[in-house]
Amino acid sequence: NAEAALACFDDQQWSLVVTDVRMPGIDGIELLALLKERSPGTPVLVMTGYADRDTVARAHDSGALAVVNKPLNLDDFIELVERLAEADVASLGMPRARGAAVRALATAAAADPHLFDPHGAVERLRKIPGIGDWTAQYIAMRAARDADAFPASDVGLQRALQSERGRPTARELSAKAEAWRPWRAYAALHLWAADQENS
């Protein structure tokens, strides 16, 4: 959910943010605007199943690097990342490391039409310079439709399972999530919703 994403954003710098328009709590475009206030140079890709002109205009006006329709058409997405790969990273108005990560993702997607196939997406994405585990898991969940992707380092997921002993670590959450295979992405969505209800 957006609140969990904002909490993660406060603690770390991200090379790329991929968000959905519709999610629990504030919507993805509101999240985009808040992220851009905190870090104007962070590139944000917005996914939506409701790509009406108003939604696309709002996303671009709020600073989205691109808007991608769902269900995700991989050919269109690859075309987008090919354009990003050819773009001058300096013109994107972001820190050099983030720009390099966006460019590396775009280059990898252009070179590998199977980059976003669900099976093995997390491992392929993690190999891209600048793409960490949380980003790889989130892209695999949202873009590659990997039903077993699980961003265990997500603060919102950890907060949803907080007990009197405190929040579980990413390692503890990963161990607990083993019982939820092969549907851990659905468990993550459930936990984000539960975290939203308790906030």
148 labelled catalytic: no
User: Closest Cα partner for 46 from 34, 28, 30?
Assistant: 28
Catalytic hit among 20, 146, 154, 195: 154
Active site residues: 154
